[in-house]
Chains A and B, each alone.
Chain A
Amino acid sequence: MLATNAEPFLKIGLNHYLFLSAILFSFGMIAVLMRKNVIVMLMGVELMLNAVNLSFIAFAKELGNLNGQIMVFFVMTIAAAEAGVGLALAVAIYKKYKDLNIRAFEQLRG
């Protein structure tokens, strides 16, 4: 009886990984929405991308199909490029306004 009840928790499958991925994604999203520091927001974006990578890989394993892993490879590349450009912009903003608060970006017009 106990064994059958505990089975959904003990038999690790796709759902567990998807759930973990969803939690990490939510954390990343909260960081993007609620932090003030631009760089911490970028970290939130990285966390979200990684959570998506996790679900890609979980699906790849479940379906026995390597396309998901290839996709993760591409996502990682683009995420690294995005982090590079994002940080370059943050450095440029910091040089101008001596501040990393997201509010500093409101000045960016014209």
Chain B
Amino acid sequence: MLMEAIGFYAMAMFLVFFAFKTISDPNPIHCALYLSLTMIGLAGVFYQLDAQFIAGVQMIVYAGAVMVLFVMVLMLFDLKTELRAFSRGLLSGFLKIFSAAILAGFALGAATNSIGIVDEQPPKVMSANITRDLSILLYTKYLYAFEALGILLLVVAVGAVAVSRIKGGSHARD
């Protein structure tokens, strides 16, 4: 129990630290790198929660693909450190901070209040081969969603190519 707690708190501190760096660092490329570290840490947490295959997918899709795309795009732009990383404006700034604080409070409060909603149950034993059960479930109960995702990915591929073809400069501000 003690080792488990130490593992959890170490992992949680890792995640919270890098998530904080993600949103607070002025240089966008650093943000992307911190976020990819957060993703890798989350994959570790998923693994610990008996979602081994999902953890692998998290690494491949998020850390290995999406964040590489983010870093590549940021290099494409050649952005320097932003002097004013956070948006300003007195009223809107106040409103933003206020709403962020309220929403964060709601999220934390919901998490705190959900103690006891799920009854104390004897820990259910996950089957020996979770990945196999997961795939059987994916191709039977969720077959429709799976096929729909296939079509969604096709649409996104077509859309991304179309958007990237937009010619720049013809209607520029100046």
Contact = CB atoms under 8 A, between A and B. Distances in A.
Given a CB threshold of 8 Å, the question of whether A touches B is answered with yes
Interface of A: 9-12, 14-31, 33-37, 39-40, 42-44, 46-47, 50, 53-54, 57-67, 69-70, 72-74, 76-81, 83-85, 87-92, 94-98, 100, 102, 107
A35 B23 contact: yes
A96 B168 contact: yes
A39 B71 CA distance: 10
Contacts, number: 231
- Residue among B31, B111, B167 with the highest chain A CB neighbour number at 10 A: B111
Contacts of B138: 70, 73
28 contacts: A10-B1, A10-B5, A16-B12, A20-B12, A23-B19, A27-B23, A28-B23, A31-B22, A33-B96, A39-B73, A42-B70, A57-B46, A58-B49, A64-B126, A73-B54, A80-B65, A83-B66, A84-B66, A84-B69, A85-B159, A91-B73, A91-B76, A91-B163, A91-B164, A92-B164, A92-B168, A95-B166, A96-B168
Contact residues of B: prevailing secondary structure: helix
Contacts of A67: 137
Given A39-B28, A60-B50, 17 more contacts: A10-B2, A11-B5, A15-B111, A19-B111, A26-B100, A26-B103, A26-B108, A27-B16, A34-B100, A37-B82, A47-B38, A73-B138, A80-B62, A83-B70, A85-B160, A88-B163, A96-B172
Given A83-B66, A91-B164, A12 B5 contact: yes
Chain B contact-residue range equals 35 or more
Contacts of B31: 40, 43
The 4 closest A-B pairs by CB, nearest first: A64-B124, A95-B168, A26-B104, A31-B23
A40 B107 CA distance: 21
A50 B39 CA distance: 8
